[in-house]
Amino acid sequence: MKFYRKQPIEAEQFDGSNEMIDKYELIDAGTMLGTHHSPELYLTGSGKVDVGDWIATGVNGERWLITDEVFKQKYKELPVIPENVAYIIKQAKKGDYKLGWVFNATYLGLWRVSVGNWIRTHADTVARAWLDGYVVEEDK
């Protein structure tokens, strides 16, 4: 069987800096073979944190190491959507509507023209945001 993550994770790519070594309570950037103080950081595989690896943080604060190669295969950034589209998604889910209803309402012209146009031209992004979560676009 294949599985997918239901919860987004936060991840930071390890750059070998002293700041990150301190932040994650690692002993040094050179070897780090299982040498960490933080009980929340689970080192898998060789237990070595290499520059370019990712340190992931789960919803409960647990941390684990992911190699860059595996990270690029399994994870994508959450889509960035405008605030008004995020509001539509939030309200539709709150009202127990389905994604198809959002698209249908878009084509029926129920949203402001600019919002409807954005949804139509970014349909894949809206679908990913609906399913996986999203980040609201910052004001420019």
pLDDT tens sequence across 2-53? 555 567 788 999 998 889 888 887 765 544 444 444 444 555 445 678 889 9
> Is residue 36 within 8 Å of 27, Cβ to Cβ?
yes
Long-range contacts of 17-20 (CB under 8 A, 24+ apart): 20/55
Task: Quote the pTM value.
Answer: 0.67
> Is residue 102 within 8 Å of 96, Cβ to Cβ?
no
Task: Give the tens place of pLDDT for each residue, 67-110.
Answer: 888 888 888 889 999 999 999 999 999 999 999 999 999 999 99
